[in-house]
Amino acid sequence: MKSPSQTHAIDFDSAKLQRLGFGQLPALIERPTSLAQLRQQMSLQLQTSLEPQRILGLFFREIQRLVPLDALSYVHKASDLRLEFGARGHHSVSYTLSHEGEHMGELIFRRNQRFNDKEQGELESLLSCLLYPMRNALLYRAATQSALRDPLTGAGNRVAMEQTLQREIDMSRRHVQPLSVLMLDIDHFKRVNDDHGHSAGDEVLRAIAASIKAQLRNVDMVFRYGGEEFLILLSNTGREAAAMVGERLRQATQSEEYFADGQLIEITVSLGCSTLLPGESADSLLRRADSALYVAKREGRNRLAMAG
């Protein structure tokens, strides 16, 4: 073994599940009765939800009845899904999940003690319970996200923004944590459409949305608020930290290269920032961010303005 991390990448797909047989157990497992009971109970539990976080949380809890674990992490890049349970461990085994050639993400088990062959066999056997519930959850998530996503930029749409903003405000108050929003507008965007056509404008919108996402944490959320406006929701972020994020977004956008008809065009953005006040409504929070954005544009654009 070259590394102390004991990382094994194994492709675990539906074909392998069928070879093992849902009612059959690998010969290397020494406790077929308890394992069979656990698989049966787990299969019933995992089918009670279409939420990936709940499914994996139940799986993590139940699997520890057989194989001690310190942590479980899951990544599915196509749906921008990253989940972690427990604390990090020094050793890991990883499985790439797939169904009929469709990638379903990577699952990583971690703990401070190495995994032996029997334990890896038990993990693989229990993974058979997870495959189909996760596939259904990912399909449901994709359908839900499609209804709440702007098709051009991939950012959330206005419906998603309204739902998420109120939820984040409620969480901010419940956990006594700050919440900030950034309203971002592309400067002189009409000129891009007028001079180069709407196709070039669409490319600029896509590029700026990607630039915004690249600068944010996984917990931050981006929504297309209007034609050339984006709203960035910064959870657990106070006024000063939000100002730093806003300035980073402004600089990152300006440093990107944008082309239309083979010609380099200059793009800048203006931003307004507001931080949730005690007892403030969602409408008021957005209104103050929009007013700050207006100040930034009035004062010359390509700048960030903070709400009072």
Catalytic residues: 228
Give Cβ neighbours of residue 210 (< 8 Å, ≥ 6 apart): none
Give Cβ neighbours of residue 31 (< 8 Å, ≥ 6 apart): 66
Q: Which amino acid is at 73?
A: S
- For 30, 199, 277, the CA distances from 308, given in Å and listed in that order, are 67, 38, 11
Q: Report how far residue 8's alpha carbon sits from residue 152's, in angstroms, rounded to the nearest whole number.
A: 38
119, two tokens = 């334990």
Q: What crossing angle do the helices spanning 198-214 and 239-255 adopt, rounded to 10°?
A: 130
Q: Report how far residue 236's alpha carbon sits from residue 98's, in angstroms, rounded to the nearest whole number.
A: 35
Q: What DSSP state is assigned to residue 70?
A: S
Considering only CA atoms, which of 63, 64, 67 is closest in space to residue 119? Answer: 67
- Please give the full DSSP string across 240-259, using - where no structure is assigned: HHHHHHHHHHHHHHHHS-EE
CB 240 within 8 A of CB 157: no
| Order of all β-strands in the sheet with 9-13 | 9-13, 91-99, 102-111, 71-76, 81-86
> If 0-12 CB within 10 Å is exposed, 13-18 middle and 19+ buried, where does residue 263 land?
exposed
Centroid of chain to Cα 91? 25
